[in-house]
Structure 1
């Protein structure tokens, strides 16, 4: 296993200053580097512990149709924006669940990075076609490179200098893990911008903060949910008062001057059980613009489904994936609670400013990529 790029804080360029005012009292627990790393490690350990499921176990999941719907959304995003021979950077790639999607898009090169060692190892074996019941193809058509490290902490442009520029960057259901501090959020967007070519696209999915806060405002306490998920905020987001001997809990308004480090615990049956962070999309958009990343679109998952299910090719894709049944004998579909859980997410596409230069597109096979990855080929990055 390769290990390198040990980075000390003094060696990295500090993120530029922001127009957002700090809130030391409310954010103090997130501003300590060790605390942030502990949170990142907790998330990494959670995903490392999750083992690959058999097909039977997967189909028995209480959220199987939600998982299939999320796969459909990611597939549509990839089909919309990936082109043959594209070089792809997959941030928080996990166990490599999107490898087949990229293969179908006929990309030319793939680099995946994830903080969880167990996930990277599963991704490596999946790419190689070893002992993976989900693998439909023994070999992928593109060379690959895998890194294990926190892509929201390290300066990836230094590590991937020979691999860049990339044509497309993807971060699926993970961008909110960068929102513990402003520095991490900026590092995430700086990495994307530095590694994308002009005209390159950044596609992703993450929780929809507007929906979460809206639901929370309507709740009696600090928790929302149904039979497949729950979200719980800490007491620091409430205040109590006494009126005629009755006690009420009121949710405090989250301060717009301090949009980072707003933590909650998220539980999704058979999928997620760890801390996450609110990402106000207007702040995300403004911050992205500072790094030359312009919004192409943002759509809540409900809106996304309604729009792209009007197109025959994506209706057929939905049928094949089975989120809404196969349209024939299989009439199973998402439960009402799964559909409500889907409402918690959004999809976004950003494009890096500048005109695309054909000479800059280095799609195809990079010299660092391999068609079969050994454990020693994985580069472990010290944060």
Structure 2
């Protein structure tokens, strides 16, 4: 299989157009309507309903190599930017699938927040070492704090006042859930900016809007996909035209075997970049997953990591690798890195916080009520 990519996904959204008129930064009230909250609950319910899988169940997944590839991409991002003793904020942390990655980076403190109560409980179980009795693992080396709440609705600066500033923020395969309204998109970026120290890093992965739009326009109808995924747009987009004046709330249904089955929203990356700049977050890089693999697989240390994770086989007897269908799904995503403006203050360097626990009980989980 060719390991390059069909074309580099640009960071624009269609042909050059005038910038959409956005609500002025200072005037946004961050108030949501009930319809948007219902969508957020639907997403939360979907992920809460997904149970932790055994090692055997994970290996039997029809998209196991795609999952391993995504883990490789997240691992590379963490290895590139995390430093020992960093304080990390993990937005939409899910079931804690990246905890081991952060542990290998030798971070000093971890705060995970997710809207799905079931996912946070699974994350707590995983952190405490109870997730899989068949796997022997040493305890995590960093204290943690877990919060259940909607990080795209709630203001986190007061909630995490004693924990901030953070050296790194991560939001993996979830930022697009904030793009249902401008209010939620702004709240997400406002939270990141408020909690990161100057010079702090924000890493993430999300769908590549340009690739999705390209595939939609090439499709005969409003649905496209292959044997492991499909994306379907509603009849309101029958003409496949999208107004630059209405860049939020462009909803589609996304189904991925053994992973996702819920509504998602288009994130025009040029708009994401512009909006992030309003919150003092500057783009370091953005790369489609095909381009990401093409670039970083050339580095020996990351090639060895890919071999260990097994996304492209183990480099030895195991010749299994991503199927063409999984590779097509990878093309739907991009990775981004943003940096908070300003010069880092060495005196602000975060150390282990007293609020964190080395063993998190159910009572330690903080619940943020939706307004």
TM-score by length of 2: 0.91
* Rounded Cα–Cα distance in structure 2 between residues aligned with 1:46 and 1:187: 22
* Rounded Cα–Cα distance in structure 2 between residues aligned with 1:288 and 1:123: 29
* Rounded Cα–Cα distance in structure 1 between residues aligned with 2:283 and 2:134: 34
Q: 2:320 aligns with which of 327, 332, 335?
A: 332
Deviation at 1:360, TM superposition (A): 1.1
> For residue 107 of structure 2, what is the aligned residue in structure 1?
107
* Rounded Cα–Cα distance in structure 2 between residues aligned with 1:132 and 1:359: 40
* Rounded Cα–Cα distance in structure 2 between residues aligned with 1:20 and 1:157: 28
> For residue 289 of structure 1, what is the aligned residue in structure 2?
277
> For residue 7 of structure 2, what is the aligned residue in structure 1?
none
Q: Which runs of 5+ in 2 are unaligned?
A: 1-18, 24-30
Matching of residues 177-216 of structure 1 within 5 Å? 177-216=177-216
More displaced, 92-101 or 133-142?
133-142
The reply to whether residue 219 of structure 1 matches residue 219 of structure 2 is yes
> For residue 236 of structure 1, what is the aligned residue in structure 2?
236
* Rounded Cα–Cα distance in structure 2 between residues aligned with 1:48 and 1:343: 27
Q: 1:298 aligns with which of 281, 286, 290?
A: 286
* Rounded Cα–Cα distance in structure 2 between residues aligned with 1:135 and 1:255: 51
Contact map agreement 2:84 2:107 (CA 8 A) in 1: yes
Encode CA deviations 1:31-85: one digit per residue, 9 max, x unaligned.
Answer: 9611111000000000000001111111111000000000000000000000000
- Structure 1 residues 131 and 352: CA distance shift in structure 2, 3 A: closer
Instruction: Name the larger-Rg structure.
Output: 1
Secondary structure in structure 2 of the residue aligned to 1:367 = coil
Contact map agreement 1:154 1:187 (CA 8 A) in 2: yes
Contact map agreement 2:88 2:169 (CA 8 A) in 1: yes
Secondary structure in structure 1 of the residue aligned to 2:346 = coil
* Rounded Cα–Cα distance in structure 2 between residues aligned with 1:208 and 1:134: 37
Matching of residues 148-159 of structure 1 within 5 Å? 148-159=148-159
Q: 2:255 aligns with which of 255, 267, 272?
A: 267
Q: 1:310 aligns with which of 285, 298, 311?
A: 298
* Rounded Cα–Cα distance in structure 2 between residues aligned with 1:258 and 1:276: 16
Q: 1:371 aligns with which of 342, 348, 358?
A: 358
* Rounded Cα–Cα distance in structure 2 between residues aligned with 1:260 and 1:357: 36
* Rounded Cα–Cα distance in structure 1 between residues aligned with 2:301 and 2:331: 23
Number of aligned residues: 345
> For residue 73 of structure 1, what is the aligned residue in structure 2?
73
Encode CA deviations 1:285-331: one digit per residue, 9 max, x unaligned.
Answer: 00000000000000000000000000000000000000000010000
* Rounded Cα–Cα distance in structure 1 between residues aligned with 2:86 and 2:134: 24
* Rounded Cα–Cα distance in structure 2 between residues aligned with 1:227 and 1:286: 36
Deviation at 1:20, TM superposition (A): 3.4
> For residue 44 of structure 1, what is the aligned residue in structure 2?
44
* Rounded Cα–Cα distance in structure 2 between residues aligned with 1:288 and 1:206: 15
> For residue 116 of structure 1, what is the aligned residue in structure 2?
116
* Rounded Cα–Cα distance in structure 1 between residues aligned with 2:134 and 2:254: 27
* Rounded Cα–Cα distance in structure 2 between residues aligned with 1:161 and 1:331: 49
Secondary structure in structure 2 of the residue aligned to 1:189 = helix
Deviation at 1:135, TM superposition (A): 5.4
Deviation at 1:121, TM superposition (A): 0.1
Q: 2:347 aligns with which of 356, 359, 379?
A: 359
Secondary structure in structure 2 of the residue aligned to 1:359 = helix
Encode CA deviations 1:162-217: one digit per residue, 9 max, x unaligned.
Answer: 00000000000000000010000000000000000000000000000000000111
Secondary structure in structure 2 of the residue aligned to 1:331 = coil
TM-score by length of 1: 0.88
Secondary structure in structure 1 of the residue aligned to 2:320 = coil
Deviation at 1:130, TM superposition (A): 1.4
- Structure 1 residues 136 and 36: CA distance shift in structure 2, 3 A: farther
Matching of residues 89-168 of structure 1 within 5 Å? 89-133=89-133, 136-168=136-168
Secondary structure in structure 2 of the residue aligned to 1:53 = coil
Cα root mean square deviation, aligned: 1.4
